[in-house]
């Protein structure tokens, strides 16, 4: 039997929570700029409509108050590049900022596991960070059940990486308590979604330069909005006449930067991939070398 989904329409012909996809379609059909998401519980759907972070309220804060670390992990795989990626989002007591970890690998012994290799590496990274930071417990929210099944001995570890993972877990469980919480993949849990973005971004080439005639552009992955803001603030202080405007459009943030008569744009997608476009001017080179 299919699991009940709850469709929350925030902007549409009709707003609210709908139990059938057909009802959701009618609510958004023909409405420009409609906004909706599907959830596995009515509480999550209502929280979305009320702009409440139910995961933060119900799952993260209570654990932080008890001195525990909370991590959201995910993995990715690119068959063409033969590379796996791992992404981790960490909340920790007395840490005002969210910690984000991402890495990639192409170990031939691990590639056969595909996406699962990234899932395992992400959990290893989360546990390693927590115990090295001196915490006594970590709760890991994950969407691949193998990471908890191997740890509990319910699944037999018969691959190189899963065997290493099991050994690592058995060693660390004596120094840090590890709890696993299974979540559904792509269930609109924004922290698991963020871990997924980090995992995919880790696989991408760090910088790609693209020539477009008189124009040029480059892409840098694993960039945060705060890093761009800090960079532009520094350049504005150092370069008289440099200024910029910011526009936010959904998951995309655009900075239009102007210096004397020169102009370029910086676009940040999903708070991870930065695209810089503009003519091959002094401003372009200035930003490229910053």
Q: What is the pLDDT of residue 261?
A: 79
Torsion of CA 237, 242, 248, 253, to 10 degrees: -80
Residue 194, exposed/middle/buried by CB under 10 A (0-12, 13-18, 19+)?
buried
CB 84 within 8 A of CB 115: yes
Separation of alpha carbons 237 and 50, rounded Å: 39
Q: What is the pLDDT of residue 229?
A: 87
Q: Would you tell me how many other CB atoms lie within 10 Å of the CB of residue 39? A: 21
Whole-structure pTM value: 0.66
Is the pLDDT at 213 greater than 60? The verdict is no
Mean pLDDT of the chain: 86
Place of tokens 């930065």: 274
Residue 180, exposed/middle/buried by CB under 10 A (0-12, 13-18, 19+)?
middle
- Strand 137-142 relative to strand 69-78: parallel, antiparallel, unpaired? parallel
């Amino acid at each position: 039997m299919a699991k009940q989904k709850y469709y929350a329409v925030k902007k549409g012909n009709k707003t609210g929570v709908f139990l059938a996809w057909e009802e959701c379609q009618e609510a958004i059909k023909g409405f420009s700029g409609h906004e909706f998401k599907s959830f596995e519980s009515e509480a999550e759907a209502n929280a979305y409509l009320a702009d409440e972070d139910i995961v933060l309220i119900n799952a993260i804060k209570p654990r932080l108050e008890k001195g525990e670390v909370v991590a959201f992990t995910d993995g990715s795989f690119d068959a063409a590049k033969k590379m796996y990626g791992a992404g981790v989002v960490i909340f920790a007591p007395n840490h005002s900022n969210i910690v984000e970890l991402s890495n990639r690998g192409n170990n031939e012994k691990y590639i056969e596991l595909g996406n699962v290799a990234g899932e395992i590496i992400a959990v290893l990274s989360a546990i390693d960070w927590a115990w090295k930071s001196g915490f006594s417990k970590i709760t890991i929210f994950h969407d691949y059940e193998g990471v908890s099944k191997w740890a509990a001995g319910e699944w037999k570890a018969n691959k190189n990486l899963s065997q290493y993972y099991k050994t690592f877990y058995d060693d660390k469980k004596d120094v840090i308590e590890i709890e696993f919480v299974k979540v559904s993949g792509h269930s609109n849990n924004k922290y698991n979604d963020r871990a997924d973005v980090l995992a995919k971004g880790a696989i991408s080439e760090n910088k790609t330069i693209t020539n477009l005639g008189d124009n040029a552009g480059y892409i840098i992955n694993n960039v945060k909005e705060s890093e761009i803001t800090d960079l532009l603030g520094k350049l504005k202080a150092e370069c008289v006449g440099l200024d910029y405007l910011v526009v936010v459009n959904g998951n995309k943030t655009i900075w239009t930067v102007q210096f004397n008569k020169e102009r370029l744009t910086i676009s940040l997608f999903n708070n991870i991939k930065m695209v810089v476009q503009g003519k091959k001017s002094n401003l372009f080179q200035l930003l490229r070398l910053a």
